[in-house]
Structure 1
Amino acid sequence: MTAALSCYGRALRQAAAGRSTVLQLLDPVHRWPPRRLNPRDWCGDLRSGDSGMLDRCVGSTLDVGCGPGRLTAALAAAGRPALGVDVSAEAIRQARRRGAPAHRADVFAAIPDEGSWQHILLADGNIGIGGDPRRLLARCLELLGPDGDILVELDPPGSGTWSGPMLLRHDERTSQPFLWAVVAADDLPALAEQAGLSALEFWGEAQRWFARLART
């Protein structure tokens, strides 16, 4: 088995080179079906549904798990202050190449300008980072300024929320286990409340689901 970050980085390199490549997110004990991930969605231009999140980012924005930086780059190109953070060196290299301000960091470690961000993005399923959505939301609350909000992409209502060890599979290689989570839209309010947040708004766009949270 290889490290999950190595598997992820290799898939990003192939996608950035224009090659068709697929990642799978696998449950090692088969509680949940495999999830197909398309790295070209992250390495390409803005996706359908991105506009709803970006339009709500009117001030300084921290893009947590920014990947190759499509959202951060779009905000920067529009003249809005933004920073992407990601643990993947390959993701940060690609983000910077496309003009996104990006910093390699774990969201649970030190982050620039803590306590002052107006918006935090958790797009593309990044509510799953660390495998504990309540802990992640509580950490994002620490990073926000007094009137800030968190914009979260979610799974569809009724699809189920889960967390635990997962694997990445790319080509014929499978990663070591890492902790991940998935949150369905209808389960978010209870999780948000546990983290000291309230759900202010839900919306759907292009068969994607989103919410906006703020401190209670």
Structure 2
Amino acid sequence: MRGRAAAVAWTEDPYTEAIGNGRGPLHLRARDGWSLALDVERWCAAADAADLSVLDRCRGTVLDIGCGPGRLVTALHADGHPSLGIDLNPAAVARTRARGGSALRRSVFEPLPAPGTWDTALLMDGNIGIGGDPALLLRRVARLVPSGGLLLAEVATDDVDERLHVWMESAAGAAGTPFPWARVGAAALHRLATLSGWLPEDSWSKDAHEFVALRRA
């Protein structure tokens, strides 16, 4: 049920319309009043300096989990990195392909090409929250990369470790299906990593974005 709700939410009108238009506003909201603005304009633009600080660390073949409209896959392709994006939303996958990147409409929890052989996996734009269970997600990604493989993740800028039930809401008030989500900061991700087959390797900041590098144990 949890996976089904997320699959529905990320293919509904609020998100699809924002990706198609290349702009928000689009928010994640929860019943207690919590809200998070989604940076649709950044996702639909070219890779910026913060993104490049991550992409410069990529090695070998790269799997971008939750690739959205494909700015990272496109940049990797232009730099000669074999890469694949996966995303649940057909508009995001189409936009990635139109920009010259490779992408599949697929969940990270579904069968994927070349499991266990991706040298680098990406969980950017808060995608460590996919499924609402970061430990489960980390264990799944650990099966997609080989021993010694790399995971590069964007984390919350504050020291947080929370599980939420959220929905997407547009400026017009259109609301999508509720689904589980999670937010973790660097310290929380380091704790979860050591329990999920990963070794913390590095943390860094760039232009108000926070990132963590983990190595497959």
TM-score range, shorter chain: over 0.9
Counterpart amino acid of 2:17?
A: R
Give the superposition deviation at 1:152.
Answer: 0.4
Contact 1:28-1:167 at 8 Å conserved across structures:
no
Match of 1:99, SS state, is coil
Report the counterpart of residue 89 of structure 1 in structure 2: 90
**Structure 2 unmatched runs, 5+:** 1-7
1:189 aligned to 2:196?
no
Name segments (4+ residues, structure 1) moved above 3 Å.
none
Q: Which amino acid aligns with 2:28?
A: L
Partners of 2:26 and 2:169 within 8 A in 1: yes
**For 2:181, what is the secondary structure of its paired residue?**
strand
In 1: Cα distance, 2:24 partner to 2:213 partner: 32
Alpha-carbon distance in 1 for matches of 2:207, 2:136:
29
* 8 Å CA contact retained: 1:157, 1:186: no
CA distance in 2, matches of 1:58, 1:69: 18
Deviation at 1:55, TM superposition (A): 0.3
What count of residue pairs does the alignment treat as equivalent? 207
Question: Among residues 20, 23, 28, which one is paired with 1:13 in the alignment?
Answer: 20
Instruction: After superposing the two structures, state which structure 1 stretch, 47-56 or 116-125, moved more.
Output: 47-56
Are the equivalent residues in 1 in contact too, given 2:24–2:38 (CA < 8 A)?
A: no
5 Å matches for 1:22-171?
22-30=25-33, 33-158=34-159, 160-170=160-170, 171=172
Q: Structure 1, unaligned stretches of length 5 or more?
A: none
Q: Which residue of 1 aligns with 2:179?
A: 178
TM-score w.r.t. the length of structure 2 is 0.92
CA RMSD of aligned residues (A): 1.2
Residue 189 of structure 1: CA displacement?
1.2
Letter in structure 2 aligned against 1:166: V
CA shift, 1:58, in A, is 2.4
**Relative to structure 1, is the Cα distance of residues 187 and 123 closer, same or farther in structure 2, using a 3 angstrom cutoff?**
same
For residues 186 and 146 of structure 2, the distance between their equivalents in structure 1, rounded to whole angstroms, comes to 25
Aligned to 2:4: none
- 1:154-202 Cα offsets, whole Å, 9 max, x none, are 01142x1211211110122011101111111121111111211111101
| SS of match in other structure, 1:174 | coil
User: Deviation at 1:75?
Assistant: 0.4
Cα contact 2:122–2:153 (8 A) shared by 1: yes
DSSP 3-state at the match of 2:146: strand
Q: Deviations over 1:83-137 (max 9, x none)?
A: 0001111100000000011111010010111000000000010001111000001
